[in-house]
Chains A and B, each alone.
Chain A
Amino acid sequence: MAQETHTPGLMDLDAASRKKRDIINTYKRRFRRHDAIAAAIFFALLFLTPALPGVKGWMVSEASLVVIYVIAAMGISILVGYIGLVSVGHGGFLAIGAYTSALLTKYYAVDLVVGIIAGMLVSAFIGAILALVFLRLSGAFMAIGTLGFAFFVGTVVNNVPIFEGRDGILLPDNVALGMEIGDFGFYYVSIVSLALVTIFVFCIVNSGTGRAFMALRDSENAAMASGVNRLFYRTLAFSISAGITGIAGALNAHIVNYVSAEVYADIWFSVDILMAVVVGGPAILFGPYLGGLFVVMLPFFLEELADFAFILKGVVLILVLRFAQAGVAEVLLRPIQNLRRRKLLEVARGAK
């Protein structure tokens, strides 16, 4: 943004203000760069996990679960972080993705990749329809509406016969691109999905669309006065978010090759992924990585003390909201940022 040519006009700034603006822009750009680098590092770590010595199949499954949560958290971070809406019902989209892919693989024996794409599309489509209802609402009303949606999906999968309720649907073995894959293969399918999702989110956030999202988040009326179509961008964001969560849902169905209302008729998923985003850092690219790791690994390490894990989750959530409202990711980036800021300030003083 700093590269844009300066044209004199009504909003013309004097030299000092221009300098200041450039410094702020540089600062923002650096922040985005550090953010992307951090995300890449986390991604590389996840990517290399199966190659570590002594890693067994179940560890890889656990890592796949982390990847799934990170994808779901990425989806919700578009809403919470970039456009300033909140959904407590994304577990519903997770279920939609899971059941779409599950039914397709069971009855039509489609490829895993096709199943994932179908899960994404169906979820995004339903998201777009729902958006038209929910997006007339704002803030608190929307949170309640989406929570109602999650319960509604839960009722449907519990009672409509094709979803087989609590008995669940047992799926055939995973076949991706014509090959039968095991735990390791599945891990790479999910990590490739994660890579695509991360790149997609990065691109959209740094595009004009992303700036429109953030304009709506920061000042709705100012954005609308500047010609940002609120309904369109909100529907778009909601639909993208639902689609990404649908991918996570499809993967979640195939990780254990089993879907049942026991798992999907709960609001836990919705609350967990919302929490992953809030703890990690909603408006930061690698925030969902931290959040997903936290939400999955905490109960894993405290396996014997499942209830204690709940308490700990709650305490961490409250502490993060009290002391680091932009998320843990922001706290991690802060030292580097401070270093940069000091340098920039020195430059600024020199310029005066």
Chain B
Amino acid sequence: MLGQQILSGLATGSLYALTAIAVVIVFRNTRTINLAQGDFAMIGAYLGIVFLKDWGLNYYATIFLVVICCTLLGAGVERLIMRPIANSDWLTLFTTTIGIYYILHGLAGWIWGRDTKAFPVTFDPTPIDIGGALISQGHLYNMLWALAIGGALYCFFNFTKQGVAMRAVTDDRDAAFLMGIPVRFIVLLTWGMAGFIAGFVGILIAPIIYVSPEMMDEVLVKGYVAAVFGGLYSIRGAVIGALLIGVAENLAGGYLGSHFKTATAFAMIVALLAVRPQGLIGIQKRREV
């Protein structure tokens, strides 16, 4: 029972982790807390329905197309909306993403309607036995995908030129610019990457929760909380935080009752911030006068 709870907690946690990674990479390169991150994924889920149902594509082609569309969406948002105000203070940047949130919500409601829809792909409900713990196939599948994406991101950040450039921009934007790194392009790439991750999250989470304009709100909040665990700077911290939240809320849901789930994440963030305001693995940023 315990092992099973932990395992499915890790499965939901891995989707929070992907969202948290996207929040972190956007924040540390552009100082923007992206409230529209969940809506990128929501659009992705709706596009998934369109491709699967109306166009009759198969599952993998759908994933491929959705991820491309979401990447373009993320990059487009950067180019059209965020770039002109890139030098504003963080509150302006943040409230601008609220505007994007409204627009994407409205668009989804306008085009596809406000009712919840079922995602056409469902997983075989018979659970799989892993060392005594049962896990549903959907969860297992999501976990594997999340692992693969996480691995790909790790390789990207460590072994490719663009990934290293992105980390350089994170560390010191001005120095990176002086070293000849095309900062603007890297920022565009960052937003595109947020969209890329959101595309996967959307299509992976859609079979578990039903598709509606509000579907991602809760996931996004947990992604934020997880990002705070990493001090909004550390991807590793964000992933650890996300997995912790996933497990903790599953345990709380299993032993205390299902309505304690959301409260758990909040209790964790309050406890964490009361003890370590800079996050679990946060970097203490020098205060600017």
Q: Do A and B come from one complex?
A: yes
- The contact string, 1 if C-beta is below 8 Å from chain B, for chain A 291-309, is 0000000000000001111
Measured in the bound complex, the distance between the Cα atoms of B263 and A156 in whole Å is 8
Alpha-carbon separation in the docked complex, A159 to B232 (Å): 31
Chain A, residues 307-319, CB within 8 Å of chain B (1/0): the string is 1111111111110
A68 adjacent to chain B (CB < 8 Å): no
Are B224 and A144 in contact (CB-based, < 8 A)?
Answer: yes
Cα-based distance from A136 to B273 in the complex (angstroms) = 8
Quote the shortest CB–CB distance from A83 to chain B (angstroms): 12
Cross-chain contact A144 with B266 (CB below 8 angstroms): no
Q: Does A184 contact B (CB under 8 A)?
A: no
CA distance A325 to B255 in the complex (A): 49
Closest residue to A84 on the B side, CB-wise? B91
Contact call B277/A306, Cβ cutoff below 8 A: no
A314 lies within 8 A of B101 (CB): yes
Least Cβ distance of A279 to chain B in Å? Answer: 9
| B180 CB-CB contact with A under 8 Å | no
- In the complex, whether A221 has a CB less than 8 A from a CB of chain B is yes
Q: Is A168 an interface residue (CB 8 A)?
A: no
**Least distance between B272 CB and chain A CB atoms (Å):** 10
Q: Does B105 contact A (CB under 8 A)?
A: yes
B287 adjacent to A221 (CB under 8 Å)? yes
Q: Is B289 an interface residue (CB 8 A)?
A: yes
Given A143-B33, A314-B100, A307 and B266 contact (CB-CB distance below 8 Å) = no
CB atoms of A318 and B277 under 8 A apart: no
- Distance in angstroms from B22 CB to nearest chain A CB is 14
Instruction: Say yes or no: is B96 at the interface (Cβ < 8 Å to chain A).
Output: yes
Q: Which A residues are in CB contact (< 8 Å) with B289?
A: 219, 221-222
Q: Which single member of A80, A318, A325 contacts B99 (CB below 8 Å)?
A: A318
Whether the Cβ atoms of A152 and B262 lie closer than 8 Å is yes
Interchain CB contact (< 8 A) of B103 among A80, A143, A221, A311? A311
Contacting residues, chain A, for B101 (C-beta < 8 A): 271, 314
- B95 adjacent to chain A (CB < 8 Å): yes
Residues of A within 8 Å of B158, CB to CB, are none
8 Å CB interface, A53-74 against B: none
B1 at interface by CB-CB < 8 Å: no
Report A-chain residues with C-beta under 8 Å of the C-beta of B266. Answer: 148-149, 151-152, 155
Contact B232 A141 (CB under 8 A): yes
Q: Would you call A140 and B263 a contact (CB within 8 A)?
A: no
> Number of contacting residues on A, CB 8 A?
46
User: B225 touches which one: A134, A144, A312, A314 (CB < 8 A)?
Assistant: A144
- Of the candidates A133, A139, A140, A306, which one forms a contact with B273 in the assembled complex, judged by CB atoms under 8 Å apart? A133
Kindly state whether residue A185 has any CB partner on chain B within 8 Å: no
Contact A148 B95, beta carbon cutoff 8 Å: no
Q: How far is the CA of A154 from the CA of B33 in the complex (A)?
A: 22
How many residues does chain B have at the interface if contact means C-beta atoms less than 8 Å apart?
48
Residue on B nearest A319 in the bound complex, by CB = B99
Interface residues of A in 264-310 (CB under 8 A from B): 267, 271, 274-275, 278, 306-310
Contact with A along B212-256 (1 / 0, CB 8 A): 000001100100110110001000000000000000000000000
Chain A residues in 8 Å Cβ range of B287: 221
Say how far B240's CB is from chain A's closest CB, in angstroms: 17
Task: Determine whether the beta carbon of A311 is less than 8 Å from that of B107.
Answer: yes
* Known contacts A158-B259, A311-B110; is-contact A148 B265 (Cβ 8 Å): yes
Asked if residues A310 and B262 are in contact (CB atoms below 8 Å), the reply is: no
Say whether A155 contacts B109, CB under 8 Å: no
Q: Chain B residues near A221: list those with CB within 8 A.
A: 287, 289
Q: Is B232 a contact partner of A140 (Cβ separation < 8 A)?
A: yes
In angstroms, Cα B98 to Cα A317, docked, is 8
Task: Give the distance to chain B from A85, nearest Cβ to Cβ, in Å.
Answer: 9
Q: Is A314 in contact with B218, judged by CB distance below 8 angstroms?
A: no
Q: Provide the bound-state CA to CA distance between A321 and B94, in Å.
A: 10
Contact between A143 and B221 (Cβ–Cβ < 8 Å)?
no
B110 — which chain A residues lie within 8 A by C-beta? Answer: 307-308, 311
Whether B96 and A147, one on each chain, are in contact in the complex, defined by CB atoms closer than 8 angstroms, is no
Are A151 and B90 also in contact (CB < 8 A) when A144-B228, A275-B98, A310-B109 are? no
CB-based contact A151/B91 at 8 Å: no
**When chains A and B are docked, how far (Å) is the Cα of A140 from the Cα of B282?**
14
Q: Is the CB of B102 within 8 A of A317?
A: yes
State which residues 122-159 of A face B: CB under 8 Å: 133-134, 136-137, 139-141, 143-145, 147-149, 151-152, 154-156, 158-159
Knowing that A80-B91, A310-B109 touch, tell me 7 more A-B residue pairs with CB under 8 angstroms: A133-B273, A137-B277, A151-B266, A156-B263, A219-B289, A314-B106, A318-B81
Chain A interface residues toward B at CB < 8 A: 80, 86, 133-134, 136-137, 139-141, 143-145, 147-149, 151-152, 154-156, 158-159, 219, 221-222, 267, 271, 274-275, 278, 306-318, 321-322, 325
Nearest 3 CB-CB pairs, A to B?
A310-B106, A314-B102, A314-B103
What are 13 A-B contacts with C-beta separation under 8 Å? A133-B270, A140-B31, A143-B33, A144-B228, A149-B266, A151-B218, A152-B266, A155-B261, A155-B262, A310-B102, A314-B101, A315-B103, A321-B99
